[in-house]
Amino acid sequence: MATVSVKHHQMFIDGKDVDAPEAYEIRSPSTEELVCTVAKGSVTHADAAVDAARQAFESGSWSRMAKEERSAIMVRIAERLGDELEELTELEISANGATIRQALGFHCGLASPHFLYFAEQALSYEFEQSVATKAYPTLSANTIVREPLGVCAAIVPWNFPLVLGIWKIGPALAAGNSVVVKCDEKTPLSLLRLAQIAHEEGVPAGVLNVITGDGAQVGARLASHPGVDKVAFTGSTAVGREIMRLASGTLKKCSLELGGKGPVIMLDDADLSYAIDGVLFGCMLYSGQICESGTRLFVSRKRHDEVVAKLVERASLIRQGDPSDFETDMGPVVSARQRDRILGYLEQAKADGATFALGGGVPEGERFAKGHWIQPTIVTNVTNDMQIAREEIFGPVLVVIPYDSLEDAIAMANDNEYGLTGGVWAQDYEKALEVSGRLRAGTVWINNWHMIDPALPFGGYKQSGVGRELGPDALGEYTEAKHVHMDLAGRADRLPFDMLISAPG
Ligand code: NAD
């Protein structure tokens, strides 16, 4: 049998490509064809990466570099991410199955501007702040200094590896930390390329390391490693809990960006000429594999049938197929495991009495015999207590739940363990703002979805996470605040010492 020759990728540790005895096969989620192989990291690689990161941090090559120089290097990396957009997109979609339109606009298109935001923060963040004090009894100068934490581990999932990696790498580097990134085993390619670019542009060896490996071994090793000061994680809530537990042994700082079950409240005055497409955009982009998707639509009982009919009409036009074709609207889901998980949820929904107004299974036709496919699916006859309405499905599945009053809708929207995002569709902005104020979620979109800006915080209420990524205080998650008190009174005022020694000196 002829062997197919494909490219082999290595990890990036201490400024060098590092191979491993074992390898992962990266297969296209759309065709199941072998795309490439990647070194399979082990706990030994995790330890080597942490050692390299620690040595780099202690050397001061990055941590004590002038912030102007650090920022300039980061600006150049951001530029390269823009220059190499097409190559990065190719790497990303070959492994995660995003469509080329989505990847250019979102998965990879956001990489350069988001990295640039952190490059600018490296310069503009208030690393030192003088504070005029009231309480000290003597004359003194007091400063808050924000110092890097040390070695930060970033554990990244498969859905948006490059951008979700940058949300951790960007603020960590801007603040002067060293970083070890553990990619998801299915999608490490774009982050490995980022590490090479960063090194080429002047990030010293050991400061940014990118490794692969199984989560339960290599990810867990980083989360519990005594040499790691902070762990930043995006992924499932179940693994988030485990990471917090592992990190507790050394009381590491944790930021966790976890699951979601975004409620979407459609008010009766919503303009359906764009709200219908907006709801589908909010739920089904990237085959619904986005934690912040709006997956539970609450619509008043009197508009329910009209809204469902229009959703079905528009969602039927979504074209599934080859993700690299600009005509394709929706690609596959990332893996057979993910497809089977979604199908399991749909089976259970049927057993619970739900009905499918659209979809509900795997699309038919030869094109879909290979790859991991799920039809765009709209589920009706759902109550808010059914599993399909409570758990994160991570597929192109929208549930529609009728409400009798707005109070009822808000109560159902908040009745979930997650609180990552929410949204309102309405023409009356005052009303929409009132509803947004009552949604227990870290982001609320009014008449839009997926609008994430690096200057605005992103993260979850309730079990959707701990801490915030992005926003003006993103670097706060990667720094320690140190108070430096400098006495200016000298011998002129020895009042505080009197608390201990009152005899004249
Ligand atoms: P996951 O949470 O298992 O994996 C995410 C990352 O964590 C990967 O890099 C993985 O290797 C690592 N990991 C896994 N177990 C670990 C452990 N014990 N210690 C440390 N690291 C570990 O996600 P998944 O299995 O790929 O997907 C399952 C479900 O998670 C999805 O269906 C979806 O609901 C959710 N998910 C959410 C997001 C998100 O953006 N919030 C992303 C991916 C998956």
CB 34 within 8 A of CB 63: no
Residue 291 annotated among the catalytic residues of the structure: yes
- Structure tokens given for 356: 């499918």
158, 189, 236, 256, best to mutate for ligand 1 pocket (most atoms within 8 Å of CB)? 236
Domain 12-258+464-484, classified CATH 3.40.605.10, yes or no? yes
Q: Tokens in use for 67?
A: 């912030």
Query: Rounded distance, CA 30 to CA 104, Å?
Result: 18
Pocket, ligand 1, Cβ cutoff 6 A: 155-159, 182, 184-185, 215-216, 219-220, 223, 234-236, 239, 242-243, 257-259, 291, 341, 392, 394
Residue 2: what pLDDT? Answer: 44
Three-state secondary structure along 222-280? HHHCCCCCEEEEECCHHHHHHHHHHHHCCCCEEEEECCCCEEEEECCCCCHHHHHHHHH
CATH of domain 262-446: 3.40.309.10
Q: Is 85 exposed, middle or buried (0-12, 13-18, 19+ CB in 10 A)?
A: middle
Choosing from 185, 257, 392, 469, the catalytic residue is 257
**Do the Cβ atoms of 417 and 258 come closer than 8 Å?**
no
Report angle CA 114, 117, 119 to the nearest 5 degrees: 115
pLDDT for 277 equals 98
158-to-43, 98, 266, 337, 339 alpha-carbon distances in Å:
20, 11, 31, 13, 14
CA of 275 to the centre of ligand 1 (A): 31
Which residue lies with its CA nearest to atom 38 of ligand 1?
235
Q: Which atom of ligand 1 is nearest to the CA of 184?
A: 9
Q: How far is the CA of 235 from the centre of ligand 1 (A)?
A: 4
DSSP one-letter code for 102: H
Instruction: Tell me which residue has its CA closest to atom 6 in ligand 1.
Output: 157
Which of 214, 239, 388 for mutating ligand 1's site (highest number of atoms within 8 Å of CB)?
A: 239
- Can you tell me which atom of ligand 1 is nearest the CA of 214? 11
* Domain locations in the chain as residue ranges: 12-258+464-484, 262-446
Burial track 398-408 (b if 16+ CB lie within 10 A, e otherwise): bbbbbbeebeb
Spatial contact of 146 and 480, defined as CB atoms under 8 Å apart: yes
Among residues 223, 204, 215, the alpha carbon closest in space to that of 42 is found at 215
pLDDT of residue 4: 62
What is the predicted pLDDT for the residue at 447?
98
Task: State how far the Cα of 6 lies from the Cα of 327, in Å rounded to an integer.
Answer: 27
Backbone angles phi, psi at 148, to 5 degrees: -65, 155
Record the tokens describing residue 394, joined without a space: 């991570």
Contact 328, 437 (CB under 8 A): no
Q: Of 479, 482, 484, nearest to 133 (Cα)?
A: 484
pTM of the model: 0.96
Closest CA to 265 of 401, 380, 424: 424
Query: Could you read off the pLDDT tens digit of each residue along the chain, which spans 505 residues?
Result: 445 689 999 999 999 999 999 999 999 999 999 999 999 999 999 999 999 999 999 999 999 999 999 999 999 999 999 999 999 999 999 999 999 999 999 999 999 999 999 999 999 999 999 998 876 668 899 999 999 999 999 999 999 999 999 999 999 999 999 999 999 999 999 999 999 999 999 999 999 999 999 999 999 999 999 999 999 999 999 999 999 999 999 999 999 999 999 999 999 999 999 999 999 999 999 999 999 999 999 999 999 999 999 999 999 999 999 999 999 999 999 999 999 999 999 999 999 999 999 999 999 999 999 999 999 999 999 999 999 999 999 999 999 999 999 999 999 999 999 999 999 999 999 999 999 999 999 999 999 999 999 999 999 999 999 999 999 999 999 999 999 999 988 877 777 888 888 887 7
